[in-house]
């Protein structure tokens, strides 16, 4: 067995831990059009130990908090340091839908130097979603030039 070779990653699944998984599953379906694949409910407590949502071609996993195992969400931690980026066909419309479903607008949609129009919404469970769509194709070199200009105050 060659332990020096890097294993191949086949997929990445965001796994969201929330205080009320049933409400979160409902929110993600209403806000983003996610489709519930299945959920596993803990006998006797009703906690959702695992659920999977299809969001476009991506699977997002969701569970209730299990503080006895150190599994807690942003509400228990006082915030999150991770954002989930949704690339959509109409960022303004998706942001409005997410807010209408109960999210909080953190940053309204605006055109950005990297060729995307987007904004940020915080869901009712503390997770932040960057929602954007392409407005122009920008090379990495041009993106760096624009970033440098922006950071210099230009």
Q: What digits encode the pLDDT tens for the residues 99-149?
A: 999 999 999 999 999 999 999 999 999 999 999 999 999 999 999 999 999
> Is 7 a domain residue?
no
In a domain, 3, yes or no: no
pTM of the model: 0.90
Identify whether 5 is part of a domain. no
Inside any domain, residue 98: yes
**pLDDT, position 154:** 61
Query: What's the pLDDT tens digit per position in 141-152?
Result: 999 999 999 999
CATH of the domain at 118: 3.10.180.10
Number of structural domains in the chain: 1
> What is the span of the domain harbouring residue 46?
15-151
CB 43 within 8 A of CB 29: no
Residues 6 or more apart whose Cβ sits within 8 Å of residue 40? 48, 49, 50, 51
Provide the pLDDT for residue 8: 86
């Amino acid at each position: 067995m060659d332990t020096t070779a890097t294993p191949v990653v086949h997929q990445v699944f965001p796994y969201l831990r929330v205080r009320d998984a049933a409400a979160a599953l409902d929110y993600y379906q209403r806000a983003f059009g996610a489709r519930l694949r299945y959920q596993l409910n803990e006998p006797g407590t009703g906690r959702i130990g695992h659920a999977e949502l299809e969001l476009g071609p991506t699977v997002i996993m969701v569970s209730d908090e299990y503080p006895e195992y150190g599994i807690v969400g942003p509400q228990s931690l006082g915030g999150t340091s991770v954002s989930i980026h949704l690339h959509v066909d109409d960022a303004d419309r998706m942001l409005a839908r997410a807010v209408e479903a109960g999210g909080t607008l953190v940053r309204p949609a605006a055109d950005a130097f990297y060729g995307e129009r987007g904004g940020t919404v915080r869901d009712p469970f503390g997770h932040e979603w960057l929602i954007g769509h392409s407005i122009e194709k920008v090379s990495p070199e041009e993106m760096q030039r624009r970033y440098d200009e922006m950071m210099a105050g230009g």
